[in-house]
Amino acid sequence: MMDFMSAQDRALLERHGLGTFDALWAKELEAVDEPNSSRGGWSSVYRLDLEGQGFYLKRQSNYLTRTLHRPFGEPSFAREFRNISRYQRLGIPALEAAFFGERKVPGETRALLLTRALDGWDDLDSLLQRWAELSAVQHRAILQACGVLARQLHGLRQIHGCFYPKHIFLQASGDGYQAQLIDLEKTRPLLFGVRDRVKDLEPLLRRTARVWNAADVRILLAAYLDQPTDSTLVDAWLVRLGARSSHKEAR
């Protein structure tokens, strides 16, 4: 695969001598968290700021994902980059790639992925932590934005695979909120209809159960299903999601 560099960011990266794989690989930066080394290699994330624009630079070595289509493995960033590109083609709101590339050197497979930082956006996790400080109007707008995002995603026959609060980013926009997704490594086509949709949504509701009450969940599902909150379809989905949650908890 040839290196990818977005037209939007090309001039900025080149002005700073960062328009190539080797330059981005060699750039000295401080990691934002502990490197992940669970797959026989390592993967790490760094913050990069250029002229007021923030990026996250992810680098990995021998950090491979094996699938039926790629039994010998490929860098997990390669899969994530393909998914970012697919979301962009489909019009699903998600993070944007600025650069992607991979290299094979003796004994090592390297890959890097540079994405634009979502500065000015809040992940749902952080909003949940201060939920009590937000107004009822903000609550409704956030819930509706999450429901609409899920509807867009599933309506375009994709499931995220990790539809968790930390992967949903929101930004106030007028009287409401807009939402988008990060961490697309596990996303895949929606193959099994309602079963896949329930499987994708249920983890979000399980992880928000201590903050969102039944009325909140109805607002989210009404936006997801494009139905009134008292719709019998919303009732049916509450039953489906509750059944899956009970099954997960019992395991």
Q: What is the pTM of this model?
A: 0.93
- Of how many residues is the chain composed? 251
| CATH at residue 135 | 1.10.510
Write down which residue in 62, 85, 116 finishes a domain.
116
User: 143 and 245: one domain?
Assistant: yes
Judged by phi (left if over 0) then psi (alpha if -120 to 50, else beta), residue 53 lies in beta
Rg of the chain, C-alpha, whole Å: 20
Residue 87 has pLDDT above 90, yes or no: yes
State which residues form the domain around 11.
4-116
User: 83 and 170: one domain?
Assistant: no
Residue 84 pLDDT class (50, 70, 90 cuts): very high
Tokens of 84: 């970012």
User: 222 and 134: one domain?
Assistant: yes
Residue 39 pLDDT class (50, 70, 90 cuts): low
| CATH at residue 13 | 3.30.200
User: 131 and 46: one domain?
Assistant: no
**All residues at 6 or more sequence positions from 193 whose CB lies less than 8 Å from its CB, including other chains:** none
Write down which residue in 116, 149, 178 finishes a domain.
116
User: 169 and 229: one domain?
Assistant: yes
Write down which residue in 54, 84, 116 finishes a domain.
116
The residues that bridge with 108 in the sheet, in sequence order, are 105
Q: How many domains does the chain contain in total?
A: 2
